[in-house]
Structure 1
Amino acid sequence: MQKTVGDIPGILNIRDDILCYGEDTASHNRALNNVLQRFNDCGLTLNKSKCQFNLDEVKFFGFIFSKDGVKQDPGKADIIQSLEAPKSFDEIRSLVSMVAFSARFIPGFSSINAPLRKLTEKNAKWQWGHDEEKALEKLRTALSKDITLQYYNKQYETRIYTDAGPNGLGAMLAQRKSGQDSSWRPILFVSRSLTKVEQRYSQIEKEALGVRWACERLYLLVPNLKL
């Protein structure tokens, strides 16, 4: 499928699913017409019962896309909310992998997730105590929030907000439409854990490291950066 439609602008293809999108109705319809024409040229047919057209909101591989932005499918959060505390290394690895999928929606994800991530390290000793339970509860709380990430727009005013904790660094890329909207809206949350050496830094050194790391991590999206 990727070989068939992968070069068409305005489409996203994963496996056998194709999502057509656009900034407005005209660009959306142009992408859709190009896909349908390509299928016709290749002698391919579609199952009408499996097609949806001209939607204001669409679920696509764990995400919900709309004119307002992208948010996580509540069904993904519900699965994690219903999970019991892991009782083995296999279960903790499965949990960590599952919540990592949602990291872009969770401020300070790496710091929150640190106690759980440690249990996935080589030669880790199994334990499930207060710190691990607290981390799981924080993740559940974060996932229960209905956070919508706005689409990036290179014309909007852009800022990066950073934070540094004992175990990790975090940053939020935010934008607002200059002159009309005074509220800053999240585009993306990013984070990473601190190495053992970095954990020994003073707080001001961690904060400085966080600023540098965030700028490097997001440099493609911050041509007119304000800190």
Structure 2
Amino acid sequence: MGFKRVLLKLSGEALMGEQGYGIDPEIVQSIASDVAACVAGGTQLAIVVGGGNIFRGLKGSAAGMDRATADYVGMLATVMNAITLQDGLERAGVPTRVQSAISMQEVAEPYIRRKAIRHMEKGRVVIFAAGTGNPFFTTDTTAALRAAEIGADVVFKATKVDGVYNKDPNKHADAVRFESLSFLEVLSSELEVMDGTAIALCKDNSIPIVVFDLFGPGNIGRAVAGDPIGTRIHP
């Protein structure tokens, strides 16, 4: 069972690889080649990208910045990532459009739902940048919101780990990975998959979430094909 229209959520941290800051070109090209194979197979694909590799609003706020201001800076960081990702995808032969929730017409289209859907129907990848355009919302929430708006079959959260664990696998050798969870289990156990608003949005709209390791070769394609990979969160 494959998925026809998917929303892929990429964290900013995933783009920086082992560098500690910024964007690793090799990771961008690896993502681009995986996405190109999926689009060639007829999958309609949209991407929401975070900005934590450049600036994280919560950290700025903790350092004394006004929270709304810090979040706006974080949104601008996602636009930088989106344009970089667009370049990588187009070099891999995938026509791509960036749509920004904050108006910046010289570098990106404004977010228009119907236009985004039309791009996808024509085989273009759409990258949604600048979050929801509002402070106090994460890019996880953006992913859930855009997925509902465009009628996506699933949200893929591609991360540095191969699924959802009962505790941090990097700190605990006895951490156990879940193959499948319900939305209620995620919310009641406060598992750190996505923030509560994003989980609730997907729950209300019956959009499953698949959490998997971004760095396994071909993993995006496997997820699109519906192969058992990572952790599936479902109604």
TM-score computed with the length of structure 2 as normaliser: 0.24
**Which structure has the bigger radius of gyration?**
1
TM-score computed with the length of structure 1 as normaliser: 0.25
Question: Relative CO higher for 1 or 2, CA cutoff 8 Å, sep ≥ 6?
Answer: 2
